[in-house]
Structure 1
Amino acid sequence: MHHLKHEAAMMSREIELLENSRRKLLGHNLGTCSMEELQDIDKQLQRSLKNIRSRKAQLFKEETEKLQTKEKSLLEENERLREKIGLKQRHVQENVGQQEIGSCNRSTQCSEVVTELFIGPPTARKLS
């Protein structure tokens, strides 16, 4: 029992020291610190900041690599779809051409319709 009480007291002191250290790292209760303590805190914060920036750079690099891989995949899919559409468009154009030829052969009259596109305010125009 005595051993457990001693261990609990040691843990309590360690928790108190850790809380004081945490407060100092957050910039609280610095009035009681000596110049050496402040320099140690500064060095510790510099190391922490270096680690944080390193991790941040690593995450940015990983994210950039993921996005580049995704971009490559999407470009490949886009090209595949363009080829697929190109084949479809040629097939549709061939079918439309065949239908037009067939419809002109079947009907007695085939006429071309000419349309004119005009953009702007209406004006008086001669109809031809």
Structure 2
Amino acid sequence: MTMTAATVGPQRYQERYAARLESVTQARRDIALVLQTWGLPQLVEVAAQVVTELVANAVEHTDAATVGASITRVGKESARIVVTDTSRTRPTPGTPSQDDEHGRGLLLVDALAHAWGSELVRGGKRIWAELRVPAAC
């Protein structure tokens, strides 16, 4: 008789952080550690950039008391980052001039993620970004 383990769901990590700029660093570290643990070190740098931008935006542009961040492994070499807050205002990429020091966060997320978007949910919104290990050249 052969037995196999039943799938219980995807690998997932989630945490809530105080809506302070210091939490950006902690969220970035937590997500990087999770990816290392899952054996996806190729995604650490990109995930660090994406989670930094998304959590920083939630902290800076909402009046939320806390910000949620999660990462779910959605494939052998892919993961989905989700950041939640209590604002009902959906993010839109900026159109900064060359001299602007801010306003490029979502443009960076768009450039780094395979796909990204936002959804209104009960109690606020979620912004998600899907990351994939690049194909070997």
| TM-score category of the 2 structures, normalised to the smaller one | under 0.3
TM-score when normalising by structure 1: 0.24
The structure where helix makes up a greater share of residues is 1
Structure (1/2) with the larger strand percentage: 2
